[in-house]
Homo-oligomer: A and B are copies of this chain.
């Protein structure tokens, strides 16, 4: 009975027709993509407004509502996939899409719909390689990449300040906290490492006999300064 539904496109639908089409798409857990002239109003954690213009509006089956403009990766406005979604054809012939949750609301008011496409997006099976976790694997397979003679003892070892990427011992048997980053890092990475080292020193009552090692392709100067000031080391490693 349920055969693969087809993608349907509509050129210049009247707002009242578009309202029905979008509502049907939502009811059928389908996606609706609109191109049209609209204003956008957001209110929630912050608030915002987008002046009239032609935008690309997408309502996904998970409830996400996105408004894309002409540039950039990020939507001009968006709403997470929870809460209510309503489509209304107004008396003055506009199509109003409204997503509303406990804390946020997003209203897209289209005075013209140039195109409407209803379709069935698939859930995505996505592989990514080159993440921080991949770098950690490499370092565990060849611990000398951290430092000659390094021995890993655990990953994600808990400290009062949070879990450390790699916990181990150096060639002299000193405990090491290793923080791994996949790309060049700034001051935040150095202070993150420092927090873990300090927490572990306090936890183990071994005042300063714990080393901190930051593994990353490279560090900025301010990062290097902080490492130096706090007595931690930088070990360059490029994935």
- A positions within 8 Å CB-CB of B: 6-12, 31, 33, 35, 45-51, 53-56, 58, 60-62, 64, 66, 68-73, 75-76, 78, 80-81, 114-115, 117, 119-131, 161-162, 182-183, 187-188, 191-192, 194-195, 222, 226
Interfacial chain B residues near A66, Cβ < 8 Å: 68, 73
* Across-interface contacts of A46 in B (CB, < 8 A): 128-131, 182
Q: Are A54 and B130 in contact (CB under 8 A)?
A: no
Query: Is the Cβ of B49 less than 8 Å from the Cβ of A60?
Result: no
Pick 19 A–B contacts, CB within 8 A, sort by A: A7-B11, A45-B130, A47-B130, A48-B126, A50-B125, A50-B126, A50-B127, A53-B124, A53-B125, A54-B122, A61-B71, A62-B71, A64-B72, A69-B123, A71-B124, A73-B75, A161-B222, A188-B188, A191-B195
CB < 8 Å neighbour of A55 from B64, B72, B122, B162: B122
A37 to B115, CA, bound (A): 20
A170 to chain B, nearest CB (A): 25
Distance between Cα atoms of A175 and B126 in the complex (Å): 52
Residues of B within 8 A of A122 (CB): 53-55, 69-70
Q: Which residues of B contact A69 (CB under 8 A)?
A: 121-124
Task: Check B9–A56 contact: CB distance below 8 A.
Answer: no
In the bound complex, residues from chain B placing their C-beta under 8 Å from that of A61 are 70-71
Taking A56-B58, A71-B60, A73-B64 as contacts, is the C-beta distance between A119 and B123 under 8 angstroms?
A: no
Whole-angstrom distance from the CB of A62 to the nearest CB of chain B?
Answer: 4
> A158–B123 Cα gap in the complex (Å)?
48
Instruction: Kindly report which residue of chain B lies nearest to residue A65, judged by CB atoms.
Output: B73
A31 cross-chain contacts in B, Cβ below 8 A: 56, 70
Q: Are B73 and A123 in contact (CB under 8 A)?
A: no
Q: Would you call A7 and B35 a contact (CB within 8 A)?
A: yes
Assess whether A64 is in contact with B56, with CB atoms less than 8 Å apart. Answer: no
The smallest beta-carbon distance between A112 and chain B, in angstroms, is 10
Q: Are A71 and B81 in contact (CB under 8 A)?
A: yes
Asked if A9 and B117 make an inter-chain contact with CB atoms under 8 angstroms apart, the answer reads yes
A223 to B11: give the CA distance in the assembly, Å: 54
